Structure 1
Amino acid sequence: MRFKNPPVNSLSLQFLTEFVISLEKLENDKGFRGVVLTSDCPSVFSAGLDLTEMCGRNPAHYAEYWKAVQELWLRLYLSNLVLVAAINGACPAGGCLMALTCDYRVMADNPKYTIGLNETQLGIVAPFWFKDTLVNTVGHRVAEQALQLGLLFPPAEALRVGLVDRVVPEDQVQSTALSVMAQWMAIPEHARQLTKRLMRKATADHLLRQRDADVQNFVSFVSRDSIQKSLQAYLKRLRQKKG
């Protein structure tokens, strides 16, 4: 599956909705056992959440958007499919979260590409289930520093801390992802799926138990004047860079 939401594959409400529908179709088709997630946009895997969905809208829209973000994570994190991320570009914030839901991550060896949950740099806070996913991947101490500082790791550093599983030349990302997919699919399907569910159930249940409260917390947080001003200022800087 190639993300194609130019220019930076931001996770708009429309993108989230279409992606979940597409993933569900693949999961319901017994002819598919695995998916490689990658980008069709040059130099960007996904820039993460679409800040325009979180800025200058009404509370009902914020709630709808956040439910769609939750659904994306739950669908990916609990998918019975083998998911391999072929990270062929920058992968901050929500893009990083999508990669973290995958069973394996292959990243292009390009120092211009970075990966991480950098929410604090935008003045916002990564929710507990973002945090849980990162802790499960890199451990508590690395996650604590990375989240507080909003760190973005270049490929070699991402590999060192365990954020990605392999770093390869840019022209080998897709072929490596397919090779990894073959290894994972060689394992008896039922045993692999049950093991995945066993490893991930507690983390997913944490969100499922608090899903409504998490939406309310998001709406309350993003509706604050200070947060709206921070997001507006960031979007303004982005527009100035493009200009």
Structure 2
Amino acid sequence: MTLVNYDLKEGVATLTLSNPPANAYSTRMFEEMDAAILDARRNKQVEVIVVTGAGEKFFCAGADIGMLAEADPEEKYYFCLHANETLLRLENTPKLVIAALNGHCVGGGLEVALAADLRVALTTFSGKIGLPEVGLGVLPGTGGTQRLARLLGKSHAIELMAEGTLLTAEEAKEKGLVNRLLEGDNFQAVVHEYARSFCNPVKSSRAIGHIKRAVSGGIDLPLESGLALERELQQRLFTGPDAAEGISAFNVGRKPQFGNQVETGAAAPHSS
């Protein structure tokens, strides 16, 4: 059985975690996720990556507790190490990553979602979101203590993890844990349309990728070093076709059509 289903449509690569009933992850799931992330990173047709769960009840409930119960301490260590490496690869991929929460997103499931750039759910989302590992006598060990603190700040992150709080989607959005609640009934269609809004020709997915690299690569650097990184990435965009197309379109008062230009730096011909 495939544990991570991979689908590419209209520039959007969707990685679906599939391990009923709760889409719990294992070493094998992370191996498949790692391979899918690498494929999406290298594939020039992929502009945005979406990570979601199979079914309607769970995005992911975290690690397979049965697997952890049978593993010795060394196996648990290497399991966490590989999970860290996989999520870092997702986080560092210079393409926008959206975690689409279709159901409960708890424990390690939220840790997967935290490695994404954006987290979204439908307004009808009825699951829970949180890191309740303290109830098992452990800490969130797949990046939760680090990414949640960077996202929400030290005090709020410690409070949520120490209490093991489970939030509704509305509460998670108020705290900044969820970026947007989307309207609609067809989850997959609504998420795909949202992901497409960051793709060519409407948006320059190349520019969005560079924005991600500037923020992720520069946020922990001294300001001067971060500004240097920003300048270098901006220069790369200035020498590419999307900047030429965007500036040209602005000057003549038309909508830009990103991604359709020849790779010479010149804008593609436009027919009015």
Q: TM-score range by the shorter chain?
A: 0.7 to 0.9
SS of residue matched to 2:140: coil
SS of residue matched to 2:44: coil
SS of residue matched to 2:173: helix
1:71 to 85, 100, 108: 85
Contact 2:132 2:161 (8 Å CA) reproduced = yes
1:97 lines up with 2:111 in the alignment: yes
Letter in 2 for 1:197: R
Q: Within 5 A, what are the aligned runs for 1:1-243? A: 1-110=15-124, 112-127=126-141, 129-168=143-182, 171-185=185-199, 186-201=202-217
Partners in 1 of 2:168 and 2:120 — Cα distance? Answer: 13
Q: Label 1:23 to 1:53 Cα distance change in 2 as closer, same or farther (>3 A).
A: same
Q: Label 1:173 to 1:128 Cα distance change in 2 as closer, same or farther (>3 A).
A: closer
How far the C-alpha of 1:106 sits from its partner, in A, is 1.3
Which of the pair has the greater relative contact order for Cα pairs under 8 Å at 6+ separation?
1
Partners in 1 of 2:106 and 2:220 — Cα distance? Answer: 22
Partners in 1 of 2:161 and 2:116 — Cα distance? Answer: 20
Contact 2:57 2:104 (8 Å CA) reproduced = yes
Partners in 2 of 1:12 and 1:51 — Cα distance? Answer: 9
Contact 1:3 1:41 (8 Å CA) reproduced = no
Contact 1:89 1:108 (8 Å CA) reproduced = no
Q: Which runs of 4+ in 1 moved over 6 A?
A: 202-205
Partners in 1 of 2:128 and 2:173 — Cα distance? Answer: 11
Instruction: Spell out, residue by residue over 1:2-60, the C-alpha distance to the aligned partner (whole angstroms, 9 max, x if none).
Output: 21111111111111111111121121111111122212133111001122232232233
Gap regions ≥5 residues in structure 1: 206-243
Instruction: Spell out, residue by residue over 1:141-200, the C-alpha distance to the aligned partner (whole angstroms, 9 max, x if none).
Output: 321210111111111111111110122356254334223323333443444323322322
How far the C-alpha of 1:128 sits from its partner, in A, is 8.7
Contact 1:111 1:155 (8 Å CA) reproduced = yes
Normalised TM-score (structure 1) = 0.75
Contact 2:121 2:180 (8 Å CA) reproduced = yes
Contact 1:119 1:126 (8 Å CA) reproduced = yes
Q: Label 1:56 to 1:39 Cα distance change in 2 as closer, same or farther (>3 A).
A: closer
Partners in 2 of 1:118 and 1:48 — Cα distance? Answer: 10
Contact 1:77 1:101 (8 Å CA) reproduced = yes
Number of residue equivalences: 205
Gap regions ≥5 residues in structure 2: 1-14, 222-272
Moved more, 1-10 or 129-138: 129-138
Identical-residue share of aligned pairs (%): 25
